[in-house]
Amino acid sequence: MAHALFDQSAETVARALIGAELEVDGVGGVIVETEAYDVLDPASHSFGGPTARNAPMFGPPGRAYVYRIYGLHWCFNVVCDAGQTGSAVLVRAIEPRTGLERMRERRGPLPDAALCSGPGKLCQALGIEGSLSGAPLDAAPFALRLHVQPPELVQGVRIGITKGAATPWRFGLAGSRFLSRPFAIRAPT
DNA sequence: GTTCCGATGTACT
DNA sequence: GTACATCGGAACG
């Protein structure tokens, strides 16, 4: 059985991943922004049922779902379940902690706050590509360590979507300067 | 600070 | 052909 954490709803996992540390081949940092998507959500890639692209969303939890967006960027998701396949959490921003030099080789000589402050940016910085879609997150090149103390969260609507735009399934680390964009609302913890 | 736009793979009408 | 879970640069105020 997969790690119990990922066998929960996308919203629960999206909250739990804030403050967790993600590395790919030793390059990464602390997750500071996530969004939840599930199969009942018209904004989700899984909404229309399984396809070749979204197949990992319908597989076991605790794996990666990586897809290409706008023809040039990659986006990284953590597959969830909670008895309902087709759910996943988009990782939108990371606070860089390890492998900053490798990140700059891939992204350019940018300030820390610009290296991983967006879903496409963090995939470029960590070297996440489509070949990793479906890969388990508890094995190399991935490393995912959960936080001990739950951090203070902020919550808001998701970014860049038209369908399901009112659903407040975007979560962030309160006060972080590494977000893709600011939040307006504070979430209960 | 803001808005506009081009890049261009993949899914879908 | 159109839309899209994006980004970076140009133009403008």
A102-111 pLDDT tens trace: 999 999 999 9
Q: Calculate the angstrom distance between C1' of B12 and CA of A131.
A: 23
**Is A188's CB less than 7 Å from nucleic acid strand C?**
no
State the alpha helices, DSSP H only, in chain A. Answer: 10-17, 100-107, 112-115, 119-126
Taking 70 as the threshold, does the pLDDT of residue A78 lie above it? yes
Write out which nucleotides of chain C lie closer than 7 A to a protein Cβ.
Answer: 3-8
Taking 70 as the threshold, does the pLDDT of residue A75 lie above it? yes
At A3, the pLDDT band (50, 70, 90 cuts) reads: low
Summarize the confidence of residues A132-146 as an average pLDDT: 96
CA A21 to each of CA A39, A69, A180: distance values in angstroms, whole numbers, following the listed order: 26, 24, 17
Summarize the confidence of residues A28-34 as an average pLDDT: 98
Q: Calculate the angstrom distance between C1' of C9 and CA of A73.
A: 17
Write out which nucleotides of chain B lie closer than 7 A to a protein Cβ.
Answer: 7-12
Q: Calculate the angstrom distance between C1' of B10 and CA of A14.
A: 26
Per cent of chain A over pLDDT 90 is: 89
At A188, the pLDDT band (50, 70, 90 cuts) reads: very low
Q: Which nucleotide is nearest to A43 (CA to C1')?
A: C5
The whole-number pLDDT of residue A35 equals: 97
Taking 90 as the threshold, does the pLDDT of residue A148 lie above it? no
Between CA A137 and CA A2 the distance in angstroms is: 10
Phi, psi of A150 (to 5 degrees): -60, 125
